[in-house]
Chains A and B, each alone.
Chain A
Amino acid sequence: MAQPLEKVDHRDAKLALAHLFVAFTALALGGFAGLLQTLVRSGKFELPSGISYYTILTTHGVLLGLVLTTFFIIGFQFAAVSRTTGALSDGSRRTGWIGFWLMTIGTAMSAFFILTGKASVLYTFYAPLQAHAGFYIGLALVVVGSWVSGFAMFAHYARWRKTHRGQASPLLAFMSVTNMVLWLVCSLGVAATVVFQLIPWSLGLTDRVNVLLSRTLFWYFGHPLVYFWLLPAYMVWYAVIPKVIGGKMFSDSLARLAFILFLLFSIPVGFHHQLLEPGISPFWKYVQVVLTFMVIIPSLMTAFAMFATFESYGRSQGATGWFGWLRKLPWSDARFFAPFVGMLFFIPAGTGGIINASHQLNQVVHNTIWVTGHFHLTVATTVVLTFFGASYWLIPHLTGRVMTKAMNRLAIIQTIVWAVGMTFMSGSMHVAGLLGAPRRSAFSTYGNSPQALEWIPYQIAQAVGGTILFIGIILILVIVINLAFFAPKGETEFPVAEAAAPYERAALALENWKLWIGLVVALILIAYTVPIIDIIQNAPPGSKGYKLW
């Protein structure tokens, strides 16, 4: 008799699904805004009067960069924790719902002020651009809501450890907790600038703002934010994909070590986003660039582990030669294909990141549309395609349905459409960036300067890519709606891989949270204490707010 599938508790499933629905709603609205942007920047299309390019740019960035990602991640992690460590307690689940509603109310509030044209400050909301206070308060609610949800996960994890003394926690639970620790520590920076600088300033309680301090606190948050997006994708790669392909995880301890290294080295590195910023000593920029390069180690460990997982599986199926194992992978299974394409795109994405973080090379690409192309490879391809791939089993698992062959085929087409669209859009962004095209700004020929005219063909290519990507968004929404409401009833597995070596002692040492969080704090203090004192003590008078729209 077949064993019943291990399932996420149905009450926890509702909590996870609520997060996923908000995430995909954000994808629909934010994706449409993205389409409009690429069309405007082609120079062939103008928005109807009254709508500003910067309003839709802010809508796109906030809804996709902050809302889609945060909601999907927290929903996915609640499901992963419930699946691997048992149903949440009533208290944890209630806390999770409080977190969800705080985030949702915050999102609605920020979205209202963006869409009414009172917060066209882009998703980085750099001072001295000044939004309506409601925008910042909404963002603060999103962050606080995510903390509340994080505490619900911590409490559940702590309870599991108390009842399983001497055992390493399940990998997905360990990874979810690591990611929430990372998020909690890094989002303190953005909370500090929003609550103590931007809200009083936008309410008129203070006249001027220390721009450099607010940007520094933003990037203290902004870079680990990228890893907060990436780590759930890595969870799928390490702990789910091996099971999907029918193989085993290469090493459980390697996966845990990679996550701890990401926790340590992804936070004290924000200055590599501020390399061209005056007011920060070159020495501290150098220190943070060195720490940034340390993050390459767990990224390459992940690349190695993925190749090794695939090759081990292929060889177990009789593959021969150097690359014969590639042929043994389940290319027609969208649960594998979408994340795999995401992994492939991470090769140029990660390479671009190393270029961005190198001081001299940063001068070539800084504030150009190369950077936009870069993060559309990292978050909008690697992360998002992995999230799509996870949705193909997660949503039917949570709704008690099964994905049909037709939907699987559509998901394969969706992945191909996404890859083609992104190759056009991000590829042309990279090239135009190297030719000096700026990011963020609306279409302009800059007085018909020859250099600006050179960018136009690439901007048209971006519009072509953006249009193809929008078709990809329509396809994924069709699939998600089908999986949530119309797919045949049945049971879908939540795949969780086993490690090739069943028990590795190193796993226990990697759950010594006092040690790891202590090291995180120490690294942050080393990297930030002196420069932040300098930024505060030697600050210029500060800036009043500007509303340039």
Chain B
Amino acid sequence: MAKLITAARQTKQEKEPALKGTLASVFLLGFFIIFSWVSVYFLFLHRL
């Protein structure tokens, strides 16, 4: 019984949580950074 519980715990621990929302969030964050950076870069080019 104890072995079964340990095995169940191990399986639970090894199972990765589903983090698709995190993936989407970090992508959105990355896009925001790139968009902002490129916007100011074009402002720089425009003022050359």
User: Could you give, for residues 11-23 of chain B, a 1 whenever the CB lies within 8 Å of some chain A CB and a 0 otherwise?
Assistant: 0010001111110
* A363 and B40 alpha carbons, distance in the complex (Å): 10
Contact of A364 with B19 at beta-carbon distance under 8 Å, contacts A300-B26, A351-B32 already known: no
Task: Judge if A424 is at the interface, Cβ distance under 8 Å.
Answer: no
Q: Which of the candidate stretches A108-116, A283-291, A307-315, A377-385 sits at the interface with the other chain?
A: A307-315
Q: Pick the contact of B21: A307, A360, A434, A501 (CB < 8 A).
A: A307
Q: Pick the contact of A355: B21, B25, B26, B40 (CB < 8 A).
A: B40
- B36 CB, min distance to chain A CBs, angstroms: 5
Q: Are B17 and A303 in contact (CB under 8 A)?
A: no
- B6 CB, min distance to chain A CBs, angstroms: 14
8 extra interface residue pairs, beta carbon distance < 8 Å, beyond A311-B17, A360-B44, A364-B43: A303-B26, A311-B18, A314-B21, A322-B20, A325-B21, A347-B29, A347-B32, A351-B37
Residue of B with least CB distance to A323: B21
Q: Are A308 and B22 in contact (CB under 8 A)?
A: yes
* A323 and B25 alpha carbons, distance in the complex (Å): 9
Q: Pick the contact of A361: B13, B21, B22, B44 (CB < 8 A).
A: B44
Residues of B within 8 A of A355 (CB): 36-37, 40
Residues of A within 8 A of B47 (CB): 364
Q: Are A307 and B26 in contact (CB under 8 A)?
A: yes
Q: Are B43 and A434 in contact (CB under 8 A)?
A: yes
Q: Are B37 and A311 in contact (CB under 8 A)?
A: no
Contact of A365 with B20 at beta-carbon distance under 8 Å, contacts A347-B32, A351-B33 already known: no
Name A's B-contacting residues (CB within 8 A): 300, 303-304, 307-308, 311-312, 314-315, 322-326, 347-348, 350-352, 354-355, 358, 360-361, 363-365, 434, 501
Q: Are B44 and A364 in contact (CB under 8 A)?
A: yes
* A308 and B17 alpha carbons, distance in the complex (Å): 9
Residues of B within 8 A of A314 (CB): 21
Contact of A322 with B24 at beta-carbon distance under 8 Å, contacts A311-B17, A351-B36 already known: yes
Residues of B within 8 A of A324 (CB): 21
Name B's A-contacting residues (CB within 8 A): 13, 17-22, 24-26, 29, 32-33, 36-37, 40-41, 43-44, 47
Residues of A within 8 A of B25 (CB): 303, 307
Residues of A within 8 A of B17 (CB): 308, 311-312, 315
Q: Are A303 and B29 in contact (CB under 8 A)?
A: yes
* A358 and B44 alpha carbons, distance in the complex (Å): 11
* A354 and B13 alpha carbons, distance in the complex (Å): 37
Q: Are B26 and A311 in contact (CB under 8 A)?
A: no
A–B Cβ pairs within 8 angstroms, 23 of them: A300-B26, A303-B25, A303-B29, A307-B25, A308-B17, A308-B19, A308-B22, A311-B21, A312-B17, A314-B21, A315-B17, A324-B21, A325-B21, A347-B32, A348-B32, A348-B36, A351-B32, A351-B37, A355-B37, A358-B41, A364-B47, A434-B40, A501-B13
Interface SS of A by simple majority:
helix
Q: Are A354 and B22 in contact (CB under 8 A)?
A: no
Contact of A358 with B37 at beta-carbon distance under 8 Å, contacts A300-B26, A304-B22, A347-B29 already known: yes
* A46 and B37 alpha carbons, distance in the complex (Å): 37
Residues of A within 8 A of B32 (CB): 347-348, 351
- B11 CB, min distance to chain A CBs, angstroms: 14
- B23 CB, min distance to chain A CBs, angstroms: 9
- B31 CB, min distance to chain A CBs, angstroms: 11
Residues of B within 8 A of A363 (CB): 44
- B12 CB, min distance to chain A CBs, angstroms: 11
Residues of A within 8 A of B21 (CB): 307, 311, 314, 322-326
- A55 CB, min distance to chain B CBs, angstroms: 33
Residue of A with least CB distance to B25: A307
Q: Pick the contact of B37: A323, A348, A361 (CB < 8 A).
A: A361
Q: Are A307 and B22 in contact (CB under 8 A)?
A: yes
* A311 and B22 alpha carbons, distance in the complex (Å): 7
Residues of A within 8 A of B37 (CB): 351, 354-355, 358, 361
Residues of B within 8 A of A364 (CB): 40, 43-44, 47
Residue of A with least CB distance to B26: A304
Residues of A within 8 A of B13 (CB): 501
* A161 and B36 alpha carbons, distance in the complex (Å): 45
* A276 and B32 alpha carbons, distance in the complex (Å): 27
Residues of A within 8 A of B40 (CB): 355, 361, 364-365, 434
* A257 and B24 alpha carbons, distance in the complex (Å): 23
- A314 CB, min distance to chain B CBs, angstroms: 8
* A434 and B41 alpha carbons, distance in the complex (Å): 12
Residues of B within 8 A of A307 (CB): 19, 21-22, 25-26
